[in-house]
Chain A
Amino acid sequence: MPVTVTGRSARFDGVCTVEEALPLLEFLRNSVDPEVDLSSCTWLHTALVQLLLIAVPQMAALPADPVLARWVTPVLTPATTAAVGQNRNFDG
C-alpha cells in the first residue's frame, strides 16, 4: 500500500494514485491531529493534494523527491514557500 496508516500518522510511499483518496479521506476524518509523512512519496495525485489542502494535517516530513519538493511542498505549506523557492536544481 502506498499510503500506510500507523496510529495518527500516514506515510506516503512511491506513486500515490487516486486509489488512495478514499483510504486517505477515511484516515483524515477519523484521526485527531493527523500527521502525514511524504518523505518517500514520488507522485501525489491531484485528489490527494486536494484532500491534504482541505484537511491541513501536520507535515511530519516533506517530500524528498526534488520535483515534489519544488512544486508540491510550496502548495501544501504556503508559509514556507519563500524558503523552499530557493531550492530548484531539478529541472536541468
Chain B
Amino acid sequence: MPTLLERFIPEAREHLETAATGLLKLEQNPSDELLVNEVFRAVHTLKGASGLFDVPGLTRLVHAGEDLLDAVRSSLITFTPDIVDALLDALDRVSSWVDALERQGRLPDDADGVSVEFANRLRAWLPNVDVTPAADTQAAPVPLDWLAELPEADRTEAFAEIVAGGAPLFAISYTPDEGCFYRGEDPFNLFPQLPGLRALRVFFREPPATLSETDPFHCGLAFRALVAQPRVEIEHLFRYVIEQVAIAAVAPEALIIPAGPADGEAADPEFLEDARRLLTARDYPGLRTAIEAWRGMSAGRAWPLSISHWLDAVLAAPLPNATWALALLDCLATGLVQPIGPPATTEISAPAVVTASGTALDLTPEKPMAARILAEQRRIIAMAEAAGPPARRVAAVEATVSHLLASLGWSLRAGELASAAAEAARGVPARLLGLITVLENRVEAAVASPAPIPPSATALLAAAADQPAPAEGTQHARVLKVDQAKVDTLMNLIAELVVTKNGLPFLARRAEEVHGSRDMGREIKAQYAVIDHLAQEMQRAIMDVRMLPVSDVFERFPRLVRDLARRLNKRIELKIVGEETAADKTIIEALGDPLLHLVRNAIDHGIESPEQRLAAGKPEAATIQLKAFQERDQVVIEVSDDGSGIDPMAVRLRAFEKGMIAEDKVDVLSDQEAINLIFLPGFSTSEEISDLSGRGVGLDVVRAAVEKFSGQLMLSSHKGEGTLVRLSLPLSMAVARVMLVEIGDALFGVPMDGVAETVRVPRSRIHRVKRSEAFILRDAVVPLFRMHTLLGVPRDEVEVDEEAVLVARIGGGLAGVIVDRLREGIDVILKPLEGVLAGIRGYSGSALLGDGRVLLILNLKELL
C-alpha cells in the first residue's frame, strides 16, 4: 500500500505540471481569471499537501508562490513575463525537490537556504515589499546526550523492541512556551496520546520558584521523550507547537547507556576471556548463561550490573549485534565508559517518513491514527461553523480526508468528497460531517476485524443510508493509479508466458517422434493454439496498459521553447499535433532526449532572428511543429521548423574540413547524402559553441538513440525553407520476433526487423571479388559473408549445391549472410547481455528458448 509520501509525490508532480502549463498560457493571456485561479489552486493544494511532511523548505517556497499568485488574482499586481520566469524557476526548484524526496525521502541539505532565497525573490514582487527573511524555524541538530536521563528500564524495553524489529525510535525534546497555558495548551498530556510513547522525562527548565512565589499559569516545564512511532504522526500531534519541538531519529545503540558510576574497576578476567570467546563463536545462548552466572557472583555494584543487563538486552535480539556486545564487554574489562555506537547526535532533518532502518510509514496496523485524524477533521469543521470564512479550512479537510483515503487504499464514489466539501464551503457541513462519520465507522470496523476492508466505493457508501445521493448520478470512469513496477512485473510475466508456450511445439514433436503418439502430438498442438491465442490477447492487453500518450514527452516543450526563444531573442510559436498518439512507455521515455536535441537544434541553428526573417520575407514569428501519428506498427514523430534550413554545400565543406569525407567525395555526394552527414559523430556547422547546442554532440546522439530501439531517422531540409526530421519507432518492444538460424551445431537468433528476405543461392551464382564474395539479387550486387568465419565456428566441409542466405538490411544497404540452415521465426524476450558478457561485441542480447536452451541474438551490424 502506498504511504502518504508515495501518494504525495505523483500528486505534487501533477500540481506542478498544472501550474507550469497554466503559467505559460497566462503569459499569452494575462487577464484570464480562470487560468489564474487554476494555477493558484494547484499551488495552493500543493502547499497544503506538503504541510503533511517534514519539508519546511518546500512548503515555504510554495507558500511564497501562492502569495504572489494571490496578489495577481486579486489584481494587486499585473502579470509580467519576469514574474512568470520567477514563478517557473521556483516551480522547477520545487520539482527537483520532489524528485529528491522520492529518491532519498528528504529534501537536499541546501533546500532551506535556497528556499529562503527563492521565496524572497518571489516576495519582492508583492506590493508591500517585505523581504525580511522568514524566521528560520530549522532547529540546530538535536543533541541526544539527555537519553541517559530517561529511566533505564524504559530505555532497555525500547531497545529490546527496536532490535526485535519494532518501529523506529524518535527522541522528542519539547520546551513549551511559557505562556502556553493561556492558549489552552496542555503540553504534558500530549505525550500519553502517542501510542508509541516509550519513555518520558519531565523537568523544570530553570529551578522552579518556591510555592509562595510561583505563578501557576506560567509553564516552567520541559519534556523529553522516546517514541516508537512514525515521525509524521508525532509531527501531526505536535503540529500546533512544532517550532517548540525537536524530533530526531534514535539509533538503537544510542540507548545503551549503563546506569551508575563507572568505577574503573575491571571485571574478572577469566569471565571476560570466556565471554569474548563465546561472542567470537557466536554462541549467544552460551554467553547469556555465562553472564547470568557471573551476575550471580558479582552482585552489588550498580554499573557492572547495569552493563550485564544491557548485554542481556543486546544478546536477546533476534540477530544480536556483536559490536555492541563487544563494546559492553570492553566497558567491563576497563571499568571505564566506552563508546558503543556513533556519537549520539543526529540531524533534525532526518528522513521524514522513511527512517534509518528503512521502515516506511504504514498506517495499516494503526487505524486508530486514522480515527484520530478523522476526529480532528470533525473539530476543524466545527471551527469553521463558528468562525470566519470556512472555505480554506474545508479545503484542508478535503485534502486530508482524501490523503487518508488514499493511504488506507479506500475510495469514495467519484466526486462525493468534492461535492460534500463544496457544500461545506458554502456553510452546510452536514454532508461532509456525515461522510466523516461513515469513514469513522469504517475505521472502527477495520480495527475490530483484521480482515481487509473491501475498497469498493459502493460498500463504503452503503453504510451511508442516511446520506442524500449525489445530485449528479453520473458514474465517472474509474482510474486506478498503479505503481509502474507492478505493471512491468505483470508484463514480464506475460512475456515469459509467451515464450514458455513456445515450448509446447517442441513437446508435440517429442510426443510424435520419441513416443510415437501422433494423437498426443495433435492434442498438444491444439492446446497450444488456444494458449497461444490467450497469451497474445494478454500481451495486447498489458501493452495497452503500458501505452502512454506522446503528450508525456511533448508537454515539456512549450516551456523549453519559450525559455530558449526569450534567451535568444527569437520569436517562436510551437505547434503540437497528435499528442494523443500512444506508444509503449519505454519508447515514449526513449523519445525524450532525441526530441530535446532536435528542438534545441531547430531553435539554435534553424530559426533565424526576427530581423533576418523579415528580411527574407517570412513572418516574424517562426513556427516549430511537433507532430505525432501512428503508421502501421510504428509511431512517427516529426519535428519541423520553417527556419533557414540546412545548406548542403556548407555541410559538405564542413565535413571536408573536419576530415570526415574525402575531397573527391565533396562533389559526388547528392544534396540529401550531404545533409545526412550532420548525423555523423562530432559534426557541427555552428560557428560558435553555445550552451544550447553546437558542441558537436546532438544529432549523432539522436541517431544512436533511435537506432537503439530499432527505429529510423530521416531528415529533409530545403535551404531557406526549413527542416523536417522524422523519427519512427516501434510501438512496443517487450517481445521481439527473431529468426532462428543454425550455424555449426549452435542456434542463433537474428532480429526479424533486420531480415529483408531469405534465399537459397546456388554455389555457381556466388561470385568472388578478390577476397570477398557476392551474389546477384534482382539485378543488385549483394555482398556475402560467411557466418562461420565471422563467429569462428568450424564448418564441416561438406559440398553443398546451394547456400542458405539470409539477406539483412544493414545501414541502408543489403548484405547476405551464409548460414547452415534457416529455421522458423519465434517470439522471444530479448535480454541484454549483462555482467562480464556485457562487453562482448556482435551480440545484441540473449533469450531463453522453449526447450530451456539459451539463444544468442546476433547483432549483424556489429559483426559485419
Contacts and interface: CB of A to CB of B under 8 A. Distances in A.
Interface string A8-51: 00000000001001101100110000000000000111110111
Given A74-B151, A86-B153, A46 B211 contact: no
Contact of B189 (A29, A46, A53): A46
A81 interface: yes
B466 to A, nearest CB: 32
B219 interface: yes
Contacts of B204: 53
Contact of A46 (B153, B187, B197): B187
Interface string B592-608: 00000000000000000
B191 A51 contact: no
Nearest to B194: A91
B216 A21 contact: yes
Interface in B126-181: 151, 153-154, 176, 181
Nearest to A66: B192
Given A46-B221, A51-B216, A91 B197 contact: yes
Given A49-B188, A91-B197, A21 B217 contact: yes
B772 interface: no
A55 B213 CA distance: 12
A29 B212 contact: yes
Contact of B219 (A28, A47, A54, A85): A47
Interface residues of B, number: 29
- Main secondary structure, interface of B, reads loop
A49 to B, nearest CB: 5
A82 interface: yes
B757 interface: no
A47 B186 CA distance: 8
A62 interface: no
Nearest to B195: A91
Sorting the interface of chain A by its residue count into under 10, 10 to 19, 20 to 34 or 35 or more gives 20 to 34
A38 B395 CA distance: 43
Contacts of A71: 191-192, 197, 200
A67 interface: yes
Interface string B200-223: 101010001111101011011100
A75 interface: yes
B447 to A, nearest CB: 12
Contacts of A51: 214, 216
A46 B219 contact: yes
Grouping DSSP codes into helix (H, G, I), strand (E, B) and loop, the A interface class, with mixed when no group exceeds half, is helix
Contacts of A46: 176, 181, 185-189, 219, 221
Contact of A50 (B154, B189, B192, B219): B219
Nearest to B225: A71
Given A25-B216, A29-B211, A49-B202, A18 B151 contact: no
Nearest to B187: A46
A18 B200 CA distance: 21
B214 A18 contact: no
B202 A75 contact: yes
Nearest to A50: B221
Contacts of A49: 188, 202, 221
B211 A54 contact: yes
A43 B187 CA distance: 12
Contacts of A28: 211
A43 B214 contact: no
A3 B202 CA distance: 23
B219 A75 contact: no
B97 to A, nearest CB: 36
Contacts of B209: 54
Interface in A54-92: 54-55, 67-68, 70-71, 74-75, 81-82, 85-86, 91
A92 B189 CA distance: 18
B217 A18 contact: yes
Contacts of B220: 50
Contacts of A43: 189
A35 B181 CA distance: 25
A54 B189 CA distance: 18
Contact of B200 (A24, A75, A91): A75
Contacts of A82: 151, 153
A67 B217 CA distance: 24
A53 B202 contact: yes
B186 A67 contact: no
Interface string B760-804: 000000000000000000000000000000000000000000000
Interface of A: 18, 21-22, 24-25, 28-29, 43-47, 49-51, 53-55, 67-68, 70-71, 74-75, 81-82, 85-86, 91
5 contacts: A18-B217, A21-B216, A24-B216, A44-B189, A85-B151
